[in-house]
Structure 1
């Protein structure tokens, strides 16, 4: 999730490296045969769109490609456990923030989970080039995941419950939370609900406050940090992150 000042920069067309992250949206899981219970549905929201691609990382790749790649893997893994998954959009599609929330509400999902990859404020970044294309890199290490919930969501308690399970799963993976969003500077200053688990309160995040189901936004890693970007771009590490998220969803599901 890029600061507004950086997201306002002109978008640059994606180039050859995008093929590394090319994904296709998996099919939605059908209801389990022979059961009459309502399926446990997760609405999975890959953040941003091709027209509004989000943060520009250290390799000159926009955030949306990381989001799409991980969302496709996660959808497949969740479906393998019997969870019904609905992606808010395919990689080439656009959808409004309101549309994402409306989709979860209309389907009465058990959980809304938005996946993003993080940046930092401009004061901590230097603009660079990769093969003649623009990129951003941190001036100092800023790495780890962040989890956001909104108290304006009517299912705030359940949102917090899943956020804690997600934070525990990420910690078990060996991922630390990044606490830079709590810094008292313009564009940050978010309330830390749980510093150990990296859970923030961000009431005005539209996709969280407009959903009427439990809703959480996960910043998987910091793509402007060279070390953290290498971690989240690694295929095996992506698989491990996916399994950590699946473990959190499975635990959350057991309480239904």
Structure 2
């Protein structure tokens, strides 16, 4: 355990990725990513609060278009750790058209799994990476697989591994990570354009499993008391 790595984390900031006007990816079954992010963030916040962790939800009303304001709000709240919640898609060339309930949608069965991101521009990179690796290890221990499709972005930018075993990539220019003054991690909880994985991600069991794994990971890296 990395106890003491992050000193006196009084608040865990949980950032709900995207917002209502730009809700992120559209899932295989036509649900916005923001809806998935919102639902998982609520479950995670409740899980951490049940262990006595002060939690600050950021962007939960879907109004925060300014990405720079998110880590700033976390800092104002006295957060000692920043976690941004997202759900994943894939590059355009992997998406296939299909129709669900009369609606034209797209899906891809080629990729699945979770991934985590840290920024080398964050001033607390060592702690960020330690926590991302700990969360990834717990997600793997819970039976989830690592997503491997982020090696090259849709813009042709390489996303190098920070910890391949535990599903952690470097993504240096993500605003919510590089602008945070505290250790910061972004979690892609799963691939919502994969029809089978989306079914799981939409369920209470997968959300509870993910929340518990995150809680245990935060315990391993010293943000919370060890599980």
Structure 2 match to 1:239 = 208
Shift of 1:226: 1.1
- Corresponding residue SS for 2:150: helix
- Corresponding residue SS for 1:170: helix
Structure 2 match to 1:48 = 18
1:144 aligns with 2:109: no
Alpha-carbon RMSD:
2.0
Q: Is contact 2:83-2:185 (8 Å) kept?
A: yes
Larger CA deviation: 191-200 vs 113-122: 191-200
Q: Spell out, residue by residue over 1:100-138, the C-alpha distance to the aligned partner (whole angstroms, 9 max, x if none).
A: 011122233110000000000000001333223342201
1:212 to 175, 181, 186: 181
**Corresponding residue pairs, total:** 219
- Corresponding residue SS for 1:204: coil
1:249 aligns with 2:224: no
Q: Is contact 2:12-2:55 (8 Å) kept?
A: yes
Q: Residue 250 and residue 141 in structure 1: after superposition, are their counterparts in 2 closer, same or farther (change >3 A)?
A: same
What runs of 5+ residues in structure 2 fail to find an aligned partner?
A: 1-6
Structure 1 match to 2:38 = 68
1:165 aligns with 2:134: yes
Shift of 1:141: 2.2
Shift of 1:50: 1.1
- Corresponding residue SS for 2:79: coil
Structure 2 match to 1:23 = none
RCO higher in structure (CA 8 A, sep ≥6) = 2
Structure 2 match to 1:4 = none
Q: Is contact 1:39-1:83 (8 Å) kept?
A: no
Question: In structure 1, what is the Cα distance between the partners aligned to 2:103 and 2:84?
Answer: 28
Shift of 1:174: 0.6
What runs of 5+ residues in structure 1 fail to find an aligned partner?
A: 1-36
Q: Is contact 2:191-2:197 (8 Å) kept?
A: yes
Question: In structure 2, what is the Cα distance between the partners aligned to 1:55 and 1:184?
Answer: 15
Q: Is contact 1:117-1:220 (8 Å) kept?
A: yes
- Corresponding residue SS for 2:196: helix
Q: Spell out, residue by residue over 1:175-194, the C-alpha distance to the aligned partner (whole angstroms, 9 max, x if none).
A: 11111001476445201111
Question: In structure 2, what is the Cα distance between the partners aligned to 1:242 and 1:254?
Answer: 14
State which structure, 1 or 2, has the greater radius of gyration over its C-alpha atoms. 1
Q: Is contact 2:94-2:110 (8 Å) kept?
A: no
Structure 1 match to 2:87 = 117
Structure 1 match to 2:193 = 224
Q: Is contact 2:56-2:77 (8 Å) kept?
A: no
